[in-house]
Structure 1
């Protein structure tokens, strides 16, 4: 069996004693790679030139050197390397003192056979200590660094942010905090695979480090979020320019696995001391700006402003109140009539939710509906709107010889994600004794395409029961003939963005004309919303658009006013 290699440093002034030590170590089964020294200067050089000594054997008393001094010198370089005194003169009292000072053992020169037990024991102990030390270092690393990118993590980021802000305050300098969220990262990672996703993160992290370099500090805060702390600036305009320059650098394509991937980030920026005088406030403000960018659709940057905090506080208040507003009867429904152009008769009414706040007055749907969708309150609100609209529709008067009008209710994408939605609608209609043909469900193209495989069977089931299906805001989303052929749609609503410029804008005219012609060929009814002038109504009628709604005929009305309007004989005959 081959001897075990051993790197040994021997501190000894007698050549014969060195030879005896080496012979005994070889007898113990070691192939010794050694150096021996006998002065402080030589020991210093040996410790400086190599950190791989596995064991150190030292005489205690030498003419020009002292063993205890040698021990202290060794421990300055390496606290764990085994250090054994081998001496002919050391007494028991000195031996105890030596061990207490950091030596592992002492052996008398006339009993070198003890090396066979002492050396492997101390090597094993040193290996255990080394592994413990590595484990502690790794734990310390994990506590402060991200394993994937080797960037500082959130823990170290918080410490450094506090440190850098404190230092900047003392030096009269500014700090820029840039928070970054990689848009579509999880989508790309799912598409390309986990390994490519990791490569993308490492490539982006490397770009951050290279771009920032000595100008600041970079950290990875979460799976797709990073932070950059820019320092060393005293002028606000230079700091702002530096932040914007960083954003443009982040937005450049990243090369991963042969693909040039463009990940446009959502970036929020906050400046010290302009926006906050404490690290926590600086981070909170940058996060607020970043979240605003994300809600706007991402792929942009935004500097913090006090207006963002005011809007955030209003939003939080709305979130809290949305959870109870349905219970407190805070919502009401208004209805906008839908008119048949040929007869000027009301054939349906679209239910539109209204929230009258006791303190803030009327709150627009475009303010609270997005919040309701994000918080999940939209499901409760949607259930209330559907039931209230159906209940009130049951009380609408019917003129002699005319059919009951439909009630059109807007559904969100969240409602179509509920697997029992069709069953719930059927149960409600049965409970309220409202015929299915009197309900019209409106859903936007965008909402429909979020999960078409789930929505399709729900729509088919409801239409087969007699419920009308209307595709809202047509022309603004995923407009496609293939979608019209695939989905069971009874009616299209031409978006008001096309109607408002008719008949002056040629493009709007041609688009509207094409939609009307297409629906006629597909045997789908069409309704134009946002009709405000007689010229618009005349154009639509001439082109074959059968139904319209808009301010030309009526604004959305409270339920009691709609009831009065329905009781009037042909109120729009003169329009």
Structure 2
């Protein structure tokens, strides 16, 4: 910003040239008007005045050059003094003309001198406004000498002119001061305006800079949020939203093939439960890294690949192939399966992963639906898990039909317990000693109004996957108790028991024992006549504690607990002491087997179960020979088609069959089992 003195200097130079022009014109005018009868000195005055004007012009040019070289600096003091000196020198020459000219000239020439001096003084109030002192002295030098000289002439007219000149000089001095003040004020206002403009400009630049920074941060944050919205925070793979958003980019490859692989990790919950969720996260990251490697080397460069963590332990991989066959898809999926299930080392620990893969191969066209392709691969993965996990299944149209039927059956099951579509069939369980019915197993059947008869092998697993099994189990328990309470006693005075299959989902309920007690109380069935059959899944460590508590509550009621399907699942003989059991039921696969070694397995199980105080029931008996052989091995009760198929009503008459031989009296070696084990019944 220029200082006030510099601005005044620039204003002085700006108007100086105008003053020089006016001065030259005035000198020329004086020379023309006063040349007649002019004294000898007048010519010298004109020459001297022009000489001073030339010096002023040269000084003006020198000052302008200095100003151009240093426009922001104050002028050199010598230039300022020289400029003021030449201005006063010019004023002095005009004052000399007034002083010497008044007595030397007369009449009109005197008036012309006064007019020229007055005009120059009036103009000086503007052109010399920047010169606070020099300008005023210049005005006084112009007017005062002439006024004093006129006053010396002595007559009244001259005195009046002298007085008017003095008053004119005073007015010119006042005008010069006013102009000088206005000029300073104008410069100050201009400076304030410039400073304000600079401040506003700086503020604007600052605001624009801040706004630019904010816009940059907002843009970066927006990109970050968009990335987070479409990517999984743990693996940095696409999430479900990000994968589905890629559908338009896939349609660009019209005519190519889209390989869709749905990956569901097997038994991933065991890693979280056994090692902790941190290990589960590390495993998921490892799986994500393995999925981002191209499926086949020859297609690594030409095939766009998208990988998504679909949710939990599920992943989706889709890859665009220029051409493909079902065999190519299977080969790629099996290669991916081999890569996923290869042992991995995480934090020094070697883990072996399992995975079930579903595959779908779709031609890309304008009608491509990415969600539909993923759904088909998901169905295939579900089928892989249903078939036993750890395998690759390619989608087939019938899988969709099965899924639709499964969904429809699930809806129908929701009301099956109250729409009279359920019923119980009863299959006899006879004593091996006399063929008398010892119990009847209640088997649930479903006659759906929309689907007709539905096999238990189809609707029971479906009910197990949801809460339907709880409602179906409660209905079967109550209906079995209400039916069995009316069964008459046999010749020995004992009425047969009723056996009801119980789901593990029922057993883990805290109120299951209360439900059993309520069913017994409502029906009036003695607790000793109720048998709850549980499968070997009760030995699953994840639920063993809760199931043990439930069975411990049921045991004092007098309800019998039988272990169904013994030998096919979790249990070992050593775990029979962990739960309050009354009997074990040997699975029919052992009974129906033709392997001679199976007899030894059954015989050993019978002897050990008896030493544990448990009765032994064998199911799947289909012939008299099988029944006789099992009785010889010491089996207590028998069940199978030989004694009767499941019927809507219990057949209470004893089975007519030959007397069974007595069980073998030769016991098997008991090994490490103590003969002092307490018996339970």
The TM-score by the shorter chain falls in which range? Answer: 0.7 to 0.9
1:185 equivalent among 239, 251, 268 = 268
Shift of 1:150: 2.1
| 2:305 matches 1:305 | no
Compared CA separation, residues 274 and 409, structure 1 to 2 (3 A): farther
Task: Give the 5 Å matches for 1:34-53.
Answer: none
Match of 2:465 in 1: 374
CA distance in 2 between partners of 1:123 and 1:569 (Å): 99
Q: Secondary structure at the match of 1:338?
A: strand
Task: Give the 5 Å matches for 1:213-292.
Answer: 213-214=300-301, 215=303, 216-236=305-325, 237-273=327-363, 278-292=369-383
CA contact (8 A) 2:333 2:392 kept: no
Q: Secondary structure at the match of 2:264?
A: strand
| 2:636 matches 1:546 | yes
CA contact (8 A) 1:338 1:350 kept: yes
Match of 2:416 in 1: 325
Shift of 1:277: 5.0
Task: Give the 5 Å matches for 1:389-404.
Answer: 389-404=480-495
Task: Give the 5 Å matches for 1:115-194.
Answer: 123-164=209-250, 166-168=251-253, 170=254, 172-194=255-277
Compared CA separation, residues 118 and 277, structure 1 to 2 (3 A): closer
Match of 2:286 in 1: 203
Question: Where does the alignment leave 5 or more consecutive residues of structure 2 unmatched?
Answer: 1-70, 72-192, 661-681
CA distance in 1 between partners of 2:493 and 2:393 (Å): 56
Q: Which has the higher strand share?
A: 1
CA distance in 1 between partners of 2:218 and 2:506 (Å): 56
CA contact (8 A) 2:436 2:654 kept: no
Shift of 1:395: 1.4
CA distance in 1 between partners of 2:218 and 2:654 (Å): 91
CA contact (8 A) 1:289 1:303 kept: yes
Deviations 1:225-267, CA, capped at 9 Å, x for gaps: 2211121241313233223222222222232211222221221
Match of 1:492 in 2: 584
Which range is displaced more, 321-330 or 457-466?
A: 457-466
Match of 1:468 in 2: 560
CA contact (8 A) 1:161 1:229 kept: no
Compared CA separation, residues 189 and 425, structure 1 to 2 (3 A): closer
CA contact (8 A) 2:566 2:587 kept: yes
Question: Where does the alignment leave 5 or more consecutive residues of structure 1 unmatched?
Answer: 1-19, 21-106
| 2:517 matches 1:426 | yes
Q: Secondary structure at the match of 1:558?
A: coil
CA contact (8 A) 2:585 2:618 kept: yes
Deviations 1:273-306, CA, capped at 9 Å, x for gaps: 3999533321221121122223444322211101
Match of 1:59 in 2: none
Shift of 1:371: 0.9
How many pairs were matched up? 460
CA distance in 1 between partners of 2:235 and 2:368 (Å): 30
Instruction: Please give the root-mean-square deviation of Cα atoms over the aligned residues, in Å.
Output: 2.7
Q: Secondary structure at the match of 2:360?
A: strand
Match of 2:441 in 1: 350
Q: Secondary structure at the match of 1:335?
A: strand
Shift of 1:190: 4.0
Match of 2:137 in 1: none
Shift of 1:531: 0.8
| 2:537 matches 1:446 | yes
Shift of 1:152: 2.2
Match of 1:386 in 2: 477
Shift of 1:509: 1.1
CA distance in 1 between partners of 2:522 and 2:321 (Å): 70
Deviations 1:189-236, CA, capped at 9 Å, x for gaps: 343334333322222211111234543222222232221112124131
CA contact (8 A) 1:288 1:304 kept: yes
Match of 2:166 in 1: none
CA distance in 2 between partners of 1:274 and 1:528 (Å): 57
CA distance in 1 between partners of 2:401 and 2:294 (Å): 34
Compared CA separation, residues 114 and 420, structure 1 to 2 (3 A): closer
CA distance in 2 between partners of 1:451 and 1:288 (Å): 29
Q: Give the greater-gyration-radius structure (CA).
A: 2
Shift of 1:460: 2.1
CA distance in 2 between partners of 1:161 and 1:298 (Å): 30
Task: Give the 5 Å matches for 1:520-559.
Answer: 520-559=610-649
Q: Secondary structure at the match of 1:375?
A: coil
Shift of 1:472: 0.5
CA contact (8 A) 1:204 1:254 kept: no
Q: Which has the higher helix share?
A: 2
CA distance in 1 between partners of 2:289 and 2:621 (Å): 55
CA contact (8 A) 1:179 1:268 kept: yes
CA contact (8 A) 1:267 1:289 kept: yes
Q: Secondary structure at the match of 2:252?
A: helix
Shift of 1:144: 2.2
CA contact (8 A) 1:176 1:243 kept: no
CA distance in 2 between partners of 1:114 and 1:368 (Å): 79
Q: Secondary structure at the match of 2:561?
A: strand
Compared CA separation, residues 336 and 147, structure 1 to 2 (3 A): same
CA distance in 2 between partners of 1:557 and 1:190 (Å): 44
